[in-house]
Amino acid sequence: MLGFMGNENSHEHCTNCILLDTGSNISVFNNASLLTNISASQFKQRVYTNGGHQDSGHVGHLPGFFDVWFNPESRLNILSFAEVSRKFRITIDTAQESAIYVHISQNKVIKFKEVKNGLYVLTVNPLKPKTLVMNYSSYFNSVKENKANFSKREIEGANNARKLYRHINMPGNKFFLHLVKTNYFRNSPVTPDDVERATMIYGPDLSFLKGKSTRKRPKSIENIQIVDIPPIIKQYHTKIVLSVDYMIVQNIAMLITIDNSFQYRFLKSVHKKKANKSDILRGINQIINIYKSRNIEVKQVNADNEFECVREDIRPSILNTVAAEEHVGTIERAIRTNKDDTRCHIHRLPYTHYPTAMVNK
């Protein structure tokens, strides 16, 4: 490993390469840009080497693979051969090439090439580290390998066929082959065999796939079945009292409401730190309309002085505001319950930061 570090490829190169190590039973990375969701582990992992031991206390996810240990003091980004083999098929044939192939899927393979000192590494583009796996795949049936099956003249004919295909606006391989077979292009040197060879060498034309592929037909929209409120509830709960307030989450104001009968909670973000009169009125009217759609009348709205500005706008609902520096107990309890439950879910998730768009949802 030390010989690799002293290679002509500098330490910077090693930071952006991954070693597939047959002698390691754990995977540990030193480059944080190659990982996602790095977080502290519940326990530390101690690794013993010829030079002593190394403790790792953080884990991160390697896109396309699995969770690995993260330790900036590690000499290399190391993937354990044993761990990779448990998830993916691995093949090696030194008679063909000095490389180890990791089969990510049926048609996508990652190639770890052998370097001068006998180690097998995968180099990652430092400008695009997050596209680690799928953008650095190597195909067995590459264009170069496909060309090896044909003569120079046959390859030239295939190139002419692909050039003609693009000149006529890429009609599709089957229709293009039909046009050539029926001699639609008079005096053309392209033959049907050239067309088939072009497909065998280059595969489907990428521009055709991107330009003419259409969205699949969407599923039909199902009718929404509205469950009617039981008569006994309608009889005794046709008029309700609504408690409203704003809670702040990461400098984002959110209108929260709860009623005294159904305990139905409503939460709406205003996408900014402080709500103005139009925001308050829009939010209250929205929740009143939800109740009205089920023939339930909001007869009273309990709130603090912040909502005094919409008293006349929400009539016939009556606004009942508490004294200065006071709060509505029911909605304060609902806010605390909402925040407590949300924090419980946040602490079990692997994310370390939450963008505004996620908070608003």
Task: Give the residue extent of every domain in the chain.
Answer: 2-136, 145-208, 231-360
Region 94-121: what's the mean pLDDT?
A: 84
pLDDT of residue 49: 67
pLDDT of residue 83: 92
Q: Does residue 139 contact residue 108 with C-beta atoms inside 8 Å?
A: yes
Report phi then psi at 82, rounded to 5: -65, -45
β pairing state of 109-114 and 99-103: antiparallel
Residue keyed to tokens 């070693």: 19
pLDDT of residue 150: 83
Distances in Å between the Cα of 219 and the Cα atoms of 144, 222, 224 are: 42, 9, 15
The CA distance from 272 to 255, in Å, is 11
pLDDT digits (tens, 9 = 90+) for 33-77: 888 888 888 888 887 766 677 888 899 988 888 899 998 888 788
For the packed helices 192-202 and 152-167, what is the interaxial angle rounded to 10 degrees?
90
Is it the case that residue 141 has pLDDT exceeding 90?
Answer: no
Region 181-190: what's the mean pLDDT?
A: 90
- Domain 231-360 listed as CATH 3.30.420.10: yes
The CA distance from 49 to 46, in Å, is 10
**Edge-first strand listing for the sheet containing 99-103:** 36-49, 52-61, 67-70, 28-29, 77-80, 17-21, 120-123, 109-114, 99-103, 89-92
Is it the case that residue 165 has pLDDT exceeding 80?
Answer: yes
pLDDT of residue 241: 92
Region 196-222: what's the mean pLDDT?
A: 77
Which of 10-24, 60-74, 156-170 shows the lowest mean pLDDT across its residues?
10-24
pLDDT of residue 158: 92
The CA distance from 263 to 265, in Å, is 6
pLDDT of residue 50: 63
Total-model pTM: 0.41
Region 75-94: what's the mean pLDDT?
A: 89
Amino acid identity, position 215: R
Question: Is 27 buried (19+), middle (13-18) or exposed (0-12) by CB count in 10 A?
Answer: buried
Residue keyed to tokens 């496909």: 146
Residue keyed to tokens 């949300």: 342
The CA distance from 322 to 328, in Å, is 7
- Cα 319 to chain centroid distance, Å, stands at 45
Is it the case that residue 118 has pLDDT exceeding 60?
Answer: yes
pLDDT of residue 2: 37
Which of 157-171, 199-213, 288-302, 310-324 shows the lowest mean pLDDT across its residues?
199-213
pLDDT digits (tens, 9 = 90+) for 307-350: 999 999 999 999 998 887 788 888 899 889 888 888 888 888 88
DSSP state, 274?
A: S
Q: Tokens for 36?
A: 């996602």
One of 2.40.70, 2.60.40, 1.10.132, 2.30.29 is the CATH number of 2-136, namely: 2.40.70
- Bond from prior residue into 350 cis (ω within 30 degrees of 0): no
pLDDT digits (tens, 9 = 90+) for 281-317: 999 999 999 999 888 899 999 998 889 999 999 999 9
Region 8-18: what's the mean pLDDT?
A: 59
